[in-house]
Amino acid sequence: MSAGNQYLLELKGIEKRFPGVHALQSVDFELRSGECVALLGENGAGKSTLIKVMGGAHQADSGLVSVQGVLQSWEKPTDSLDAGVAIIYQEFNLVPGLTAAENVFLGIEPSDFGWVRKSEEKEKVREVFNRIGAEINPGALCDSLTVAEKQLVEIAKALVRDAQILVMDEPSAALTKKEVEQLYLLIDELKLRGIGVVYVSHRLEEIERVADRAIVMRDGARVGELGREELDRAKIIEMMVGRKLENEFPKEVRTPGAVRLRAKNLNRGQKVRNVSLEVRAGEILALTGLVGAGRTETVRLLFGADRADTGEVELDGRTLQLGSPSDAIEAGICLLTEDRKDQGLVLGQSIKENFGLPNLKKFSRKGWVNRSLEGQSFGEYIKKLQIKVSGQSQLASQLSGGNQQKVVLAKWLERNAEILIFDEPTRGIDVGAKFEIYQWMNQLAKAGKGIIMISSELPEVLGMSDRILVMKEGQLMGELVNGPEVTQEVLMSLAIGEHAACL
């Protein structure tokens, strides 16, 4: 290869195995200067393992890694950073108790005889913040910053270390629409400076905006590449899942039955204000709105995670006393939380233990847990939900996002809950796993369960729900029966408060 065509980053024949898993199978990857390459694939396809190889967190069993034509041999993440490769993971690597400036220069502080030159540090941070359009006080504690600001601090950390390659893992997952647009502009600017960007995302609409090329992985192998002109949603999905997905949202025609869950005049401070709703047997009720609309706060009241100031909740005509989540679980209400890693799972425990936690009464007798029965029941769900695991003793932290979500779903299915609340059920999950989650929601509705689905994705809301409630600033702005006349524009006008509606 001539110097003019030299790749900024190149991986050839990368192999990586873990116990029971062939994670990477002779994977090739290339990135040029000033280029954004999207790395796509379902959960478990090998994307995370590959970017950890790029970042020195994993060492490949075999294969070659080169940066600007120079072969690399990394034993730890700092080796890759020294070579110019910076990884910005979905979970930021920042120290909350340190300032933005201290985090940016952590480990490379300008100092004299052990004393850090604080004024110089802050001035240099201001310069790099200006370069990337970040309006952040260098002296602000990272704990006080928004998600978007923390992401900019991570990018600043990379730039002060003269990184030429930025790997972004699900960078838009927790950003508002406006913040995502700002991220796009920043990537454009970085590309103009000759920096190469690897962009990992499940949001296919973003790929068409930011990517010059897309490399697609499936089952640990690279299965194809798409040029910018080929970045078609249907083609990407087909390559990712290995088959045509005729209908992205497998919505079924349903006739809802009697009211199962009824909430009357729920209030909690300014977060939830006079909210009343009903959920019928065999229906999917969508709750949507902009970030901060009060959707999650509302369902936390239904689940007993927070106490309402006023209002009441009924299930099948019986008034509930919800002092805690255990009260709701006993009554037959379960919640698949928005943040499955912090609230839905105990990451340090095995997936079998996570499955068993809300079902201990069923699996125990006289204080002793029947591990055999627990494992047998969980094994059935592993098959039903097609959860990709190396074994039931595998830690929850080791699963991909889609498989973590399936473990959460399995434990609630075992409870045979009557009302299932799905809070952003497909956030950070690939299209194949999304389809499976949708199918299970349909099956639960068909069995007469009541489903509440919180979603910020309007196509998902329109594609899966029977009725839609739109919230803004803790209040209901409209209730609509889903149909052809209900469009994304109608939902958005309600969400921003242009008018209220009941269709």
Helices (H), 44-161: 47-54, 77-82, 100-104, 118-131, 147-160
* Encoded amino acid at 127, one letter: E
Whether domain 255-332+417-503 has CATH 3.40.50.300: the reply is yes
Distance between CA 360 and CA 366 in Å, rounded?
11
Query: Which residue, among 412, 436, 395, 394, has the nearest Cα to 344 in the 3D structure?
Result: 412
Q: Return the domain boundaries, the chain.
A: 3-241, 255-332+417-503, 345-416
Whether 315 contacts 332, CB under 8 Å? yes
What is the pLDDT, as a whole number, of residue 116?
A: 62
What is the pLDDT, as a whole number, of residue 196?
A: 96
In which order are the strands placed within the sheet that holds 21-31? 21-31, 9-18, 62-67, 70-71
What is the pLDDT, as a whole number, of residue 246?
A: 60
Task: For 173, list phi and psi in degrees, rounded to 5.
Answer: -55, -40
Beta-strand pair 419-423/36-41: unpaired
Neighbours of 358 (CB within 10 A): 17
The phi-psi region of residue 41 (left if phi > 0; otherwise alpha if psi is between -120 and 50; otherwise beta) is: left
What is the pLDDT, as a whole number, of residue 478?
A: 92
The CA dihedral of 430, 432, 438, 439, to the nearest 10 degrees, is -160
Q: What is the pTM of this model?
A: 0.64
Query: Which residue, among 178, 165, 120, 174, has the nearest Cα to 145 in the 3D structure?
Result: 174
Beta-strand pair 62-67/70-71: antiparallel
Neighbours of 248 (CB within 10 A): 17
How far are the Cα atoms of 21, 42, 436, 438 from residue 385, in angstroms, in the given order? 19, 15, 8, 12
Neighbours of 443 (CB within 10 A): 12
What is the pLDDT, as a whole number, of residue 113?
A: 62
Q: pLDDT tens digits for 141-158?
A: 999 988 888 888 988 888
- What SS3 class is residue 362? helix
Residue ranges for the chain with pLDDT beneath 70: 1-5, 110-114, 116, 174, 243-247, 498-503
Task: For 363, list phi and psi in degrees, rounded to 5.
Answer: -100, 0
Q: 3-241 with 255-332+417-503: one CATH topology?
A: yes
Q: pLDDT tens digits for 413-460?
A: 898 889 999 998 887 777 777 888 899 899 999 999 999 999 988 889
What is the pLDDT, as a whole number, of residue 393?
A: 92
- What SS3 class is residue 386? coil
What is the pLDDT, as a whole number, of residue 284?
A: 96
CATH class of 3-241: alpha beta
